[in-house]
A and B are shown apart, each in its own frame.
Chain A
């Protein structure tokens, strides 16, 4: 399937072993099929799996557009990594580097920071989950390692971009984040590519560790071109009194299947997940989320909101799990969908599995349409039909925007709304 790659050449033993295991799993497994519960609503038989080759340097690849590289979580970056098939550009503020912060691309991390990498590689996501995660594990070349030492507060946001052009290319990415005790950072990662005429494959793994009383705001934007088949397996672990604020914004790709899990493993750990998605055309997004309360006094709060146009489809499947003995946990989960066309369809499937008795868990799932009385009301005030719809859709997304503390991230998502509606 992927010719011409030698597994883990010149890499340290633990990386080679990791890749070898993933490779074995890849060789052993079949592509996920709709007979499996997690894939029941997402059919990938049209993925032309035999046709891809790992992205290679090529002068014909377009450069990432300027707007993609602009800071989103503040006025300037503390560090930025741009990964394209033609190479990597990376910078990190000297002051942060002197404090021991590592923010670098995966290849450099393997060479220069193996002991840090070993802490996190393969610790959170099992690359053997399915054939696609195995592929990412075995071959990930495009990736980022973020390490923040104990007590270090990174004030300026960090930003990385994976730019993935080129029909027939396969991209395998791996994001690794390790926040030591009492550290703090804001990290924005974006996946993006131009829309081209032919399939592109991306499979990615994201592993995040938030240590004791550490604090991470993690924004992931998915702006793939509408020809990209996108698969990710993501898991974040939050230790005692740690806080993770995890924001997802998805507007791109042809098809996305995303597994995101949060493990609250220490008392007082908090995890918030906020998801924005908007599909149009024939896009298909499938977000599978899981909030695991493995320790008492943990709090999770998930809100995913999506709008759908044309013949597009979305699936959200969520689960709150409370382990035995994880008393006094507070879990919340809600998914709201606004279906804007007759042919679009949203599925929303919440779930609870609670094995402790003193907990508070609530969930909600809705799929609705624009109320024509609202449209009439707005139009009666001189607001044209298209604008009226836009206002209603923006209003629908407002609760998600309220959860995003970054103006420019909000503006990007608002632009997404305008683009999708026009």
Chain B
């Protein structure tokens, strides 16, 4: 079974170690929630998994189907089936959603077969329409410049549209719920659920329980100060909802104190 396996991962940004020995396994067909207060390193983990060049893995490993991703470029990780829905998607002015998605699809096809001539345009149009309908998006969206002037909700929906189009095997959703009103949240969650199945493993990063009412996790993990400090079932998310993160801080504050002493934030 294809899976994402994170082993004793340490990640630095410049001089600062942000992820400090993290272990996690996400199997296909599973939904994992990763929760934790702001600044605990959730986005750093997401970027490191996707291969952002500013995030250095200093120890440990990331395995996909048993194969290490560490030496792979972000596009190669994408070709294998990794996907990250960004907390803050970047605008690409002058590049339409459609042009971008077609280039991405063709990137995947050519990675499999270097002689591939790309998806024919009529077929691409059909695929794109289907996926936009799934996410209840206006077809005019395809002609807009990627994330350029998009509202918060539109950006998140565009992320899920990309996920739907690229059909990854491991998807990391980084705070896909933040900034969404309840209706938008529901549409996005329905979109994710529609893609959910035995072939897809999902890591949902959030610091609210709210999204988890719609996307039901099999496992919940709590991240604090660069490590996973608690793991459990859905009931853990409910506990966090009721009690907040203070008890985590109290229980695991030691790690915090250590990082404060070494000058980490």
Residue numbers in B under 8 Å from A388 (CB-CB): 75
Q: Which residue of B lies closest to A373 (CB)?
A: B90
**Shortest distance between the CB of A394 and any CB in chain B (Å):** 7
Contact of A391 among B53, B79, B99 (CB under 8 A): B99
**Contact residues on A (Cβ < 8 Å of other chain), bracket:** 20 to 34
**Shortest distance between the CB of A138 and any CB in chain B (Å):** 44
On whether the beta carbons of A371 and B90 are closer than 8 Å, the reply is yes
Main SS at interface, chain A: helix
Q: A373-B90, A379-B73, A391-B99 are in contact. List 15 more A-B contacts (CB 8 A).
A: A376-B74, A381-B78, A381-B104, A381-B162, A382-B78, A382-B107, A382-B108, A382-B166, A388-B75, A391-B92, A394-B94, A395-B93, A396-B93, A398-B95, A399-B94
On whether the beta carbons of A376 and B53 are closer than 8 Å, the reply is yes
**Shortest distance between the CB of A155 and any CB in chain B (Å):** 30
Using an 8 Å CB-CB cutoff, how does the interface string of A368-399 with B read, 1 for contact, 0 for none? Answer: 00011110111111111101100110111111
Interface residues of B in 81-98 (CB under 8 A from A): 83-84, 86, 89-90, 92-95
Bound-state Cα–Cα, A383 to B110, Å: 10
Given A380-B78, A382-B166, A391-B99: A397 in contact with B52 (beta carbons within 8 A): no
Residue numbers in A under 8 Å from B79 (CB-CB): 382
Contact of A396 among B73, B94, B162 (CB under 8 A): B94
Bound-state Cα–Cα, A373 to B88, Å: 11
Q: Which residue of A lies closest to B74 (CB)?
A: A379
Q: Does B145 contact A (CB under 8 A)?
A: yes
Bound-state Cα–Cα, A382 to B104, Å: 6
**Shortest distance between the CB of A411 and any CB in chain B (Å):** 15
Given A383-B107, A384-B75, A395-B145: A378 in contact with B100 (beta carbons within 8 A): yes
Residue numbers in A under 8 Å from B51 (CB-CB): 380
**Shortest distance between the CB of A45 and any CB in chain B (Å):** 39
B residues whose Cβ falls under 8 Å from a Cβ of A? 50-53, 73-75, 77-79, 83-84, 86, 89-90, 92-95, 99-100, 103-104, 107-108, 111, 145, 162, 166
Contact of A381 among B52, B93, B99, B107 (CB under 8 A): B107
Q: Of residues A381, A387, A399, which shows the largest number of chain B Cβ atoms within 10 Å of its Cβ? A: A381
Residue numbers in B under 8 Å from A398 (CB-CB): 93-95, 145
Bound-state Cα–Cα, A396 to B93, Å: 7
Using an 8 Å CB-CB cutoff, how does the interface string of A386-416 with B read, 1 for contact, 0 for none? Answer: 0110011011111100000000000000000
**Shortest distance between the CB of A340 and any CB in chain B (Å):** 15
On whether the beta carbons of B94 and A379 are closer than 8 Å, the reply is no
On whether the beta carbons of B92 and A374 are closer than 8 Å, the reply is yes
Residue numbers in B under 8 Å from A373 (CB-CB): 90
**Shortest distance between the CB of B146 and any CB in chain A (Å):** 8
On whether the beta carbons of B94 and A376 are closer than 8 Å, the reply is no
Residue numbers in B under 8 Å from A387 (CB-CB): 103, 107
